[in-house]
Structure 1
Amino acid sequence: MISLEHVSKTYRMPEGQLEGVRDVSLHIPKGTIHGIIGVSGAGKSTLLRMVNLLERPDQGKVFVGEQEMTALSARQLRESRRSISMIFQQYNLVLNRTVSRNISMAMELAGVPKPERLARIEECLRFVGLEDKAQQYPSRLSGGQKQRVAIARALANGPKVLLCDEPTSALDPQTTADILEVLHHINRSYGVTILIVTHDMSVVKKICSRVSVMEQGQIVRTVAADELEAIGNA
């Protein structure tokens, strides 16, 4: 479903070049939940953002399904990104839009008719358990509720792939468990392929089938989640 073939990314910094990702290859089968774990600065988020080309690799190829993302024109890339949604650590909600209008945004951009948008908003809010928050503004919500809204927004266009960049690191343990259960439910109910970046070993143990460990821009090992004990604090 997701294949990265020898991708690399280098940044030009005042002090010289910084290798964010170095010659990484990774295959994630359709319908699985795959974790990427590592310390801050290991290259996890850069690798994640290469999947939808928010970060374009300097070399290598990216495939999602049968499409080579790195070969698409700008118009084709915009179309392809509609099947790839993303959620973030800091939610990225629009503060002057209600919950309902935050979820509506991607559908508005895609030209979805209003009656269909309203039905989909209701469905997504019901899925994440926030039916009563449709007309609230983000400032009135808890951190866990904000992340649920972000997940509902990510589901609105019916994605095939969900990219999660540290989605629980700002949350308390119980709220983290609740959000992970929502993500697991998405995977089970819709067959969405999920790629989740985290620094927290317990997160990948909870929901991932496999996990890749990154160090200094490289994947140093990929193992089944039930083998995590063997890699200790790597």
Structure 2
Amino acid sequence: MDKVSLEVRAGAIHGIIGASGAGKSTLLRLINLLERPDAGTVTLDGRLLTEMPEKLLRKERQKIGMIFQQFNLVGNATVSRNVAIPLELAGAPRSGRMERVRECLQFVGLESKADQYPAQLSGGQRQRVAIARALANSPKLLLCDEPTSALDPGTTADILGVLQHINDVLGVTVVIVTHELDVVRRICTDVSVMEGGRIVDSFSRGDGGFLAPEGHAGSYRERITGKAGEVHV
């Protein structure tokens, strides 16, 4: 990372796009302090995460859900057990855990798969389980690291629909790392472009689509918005 400054609006779906090796996934890990920055700060909901002692930081991380490209499910645990793990780690009362698991699985349309194992599910279903797990502690922020790159186009559309639904219904802010232009075009409200460990461009969606201001030309911006200075729906 090279002096990266990123502000994510509450309630946004913020895409971080760039070529492989640009630093996208590293930035995502810095947001929830899975990796520590050498300098600078990370603030969530007005609270300075980088200054917190580890015990308090663990509690604050419960406000952050994360999903991964390869799902990262526990293979020898049932779907419901996978979703319950964050609740157990957070010390949630046993009496309410399974009800919360049921709610999360119902939200992603997998309540009927609660007793199955990850190997019995399709790739899209496994990603839905991972999303349900990320929602278990009712996060305010959902970090998504290439959540659709291992999926076919039809399943990608389904998963993006789930993420959009989370944003619309639950009001969860979503940050998506991706190299897929179509992901950005479909659901992102804001975009940051990374190159060589730096954010080299940022722009937002207007009423008619993404707006590229006059005079600014950048390869990703042009491919997402159309020619610089034009709106592309």
TM-score when scaled to structure 2? 0.89
Aligned twin of 1:16: none
Give yes or no for the alignment of 1:220 onto 2:200. Answer: yes
Separation in 2 of the partners of 1:228 and 1:122?
A: 41
Contact 1:211 1:222 in 2 (8 A): yes
Are 2:175 and 1:185 equivalent residues in the alignment? no
Q: Determine the C-alpha separation between the residues in 1 that align with 2:223 and 2:18.
A: 9
1:156 match: 136
> Counterpart in 2 of 1:232?
222
Asked if residue 202 in structure 1 is aligned to residue 179 in structure 2, the reply is no
Between the aligned partners of 2:82 and 2:165, the Cα distance in structure 1 is: 22
Helix, strand or coil at the partner of 1:183: helix
Q: Confirm whether residue 37 of structure 1 aligns to residue 27 of structure 2.
A: no
Q: Is the 8 A contact 1:38 1:215 kept in 2?
A: yes
Structure 2 match to 1:8: none
* Equivalent residue number for residue 78 of structure 2: 98
* 1:81 corresponding residue in structure 2: 61
Instruction: Return the offset for 1:26.
Output: 1.2
Which blocks of at least 5 consecutive residues in structure 2 are unaligned? 225-233
The runs of 5 or more residues in structure 1 that have no matched partner are 1-20
AA aligned to 2:32 is N
Deviation by residue 1:67-89 (Cα, 9 ceiling, x = unmatched): 11111111111011011010000
* Aligned-partner residue type, residue 91 of structure 1: F
Matches of 1:179 and 1:61 in 2, distance apart?
A: 32
Q: 1:228 to 1:174 in 2, by over 3 A?
A: farther
1:127 aligns with 2:110: no
Instruction: Tell me the amino acid that sits aligned with residue 95 of structure 1.
Output: G
CA distance in 2, matches of 1:146, 1:190: 21
- Are residues 1:110 and 2:90 paired? yes
In structure 2, C-alpha distance between the alignment counterparts of 1:48 and 1:98, rounded to whole Å: 28
Q: 1:216 to 1:233 in 2, by over 3 A?
A: farther
| Structure 2 contact 59–90 (Cα < 8 Å) conserved | no
Structure 1 residues 167 and 228: CA distance shift in structure 2, 3 A: farther
Three-state SS of the structure 2 residue aligned to 1:42 is coil
Report the 3-state secondary structure (helix = DSSP H, G, I; strand = E; otherwise coil) of the residue aligned with 1:101: helix
Question: 1:205 touches 1:228 (CA, 8 Å); kept in 2?
Answer: no
Q: CA RMSD in A?
A: 1.3
SS in 1 for 2:5: strand
Offset, 1:110:
1.3
* CA shift in 2, pair 1:228/1:134, >3 Å: farther
SS in 2 for 1:187: helix
Structure 2 CA distance, aligned partners of 1:217 and 1:39? 11
TM-score w.r.t. the length of structure 1 is: 0.89
Match of 1:4 in 2: none
Larger strand fraction of residues: 1
Which residue identity lines up with residue 13 of structure 2 in the other structure? I
- CA displacement 1:126-185 (0-9 Å, x = unmatched): 110111100000000000000000000000110000000000000000100000000000
Cα deviation 1:212-233 (Å, max 9, x = unaligned): 0000010111011433787234
Identity of aligned residues (%): 61
Partner of residue 231, structure 2: none
Q: 2:41 aligns with which of 47, 61, 68?
A: 61
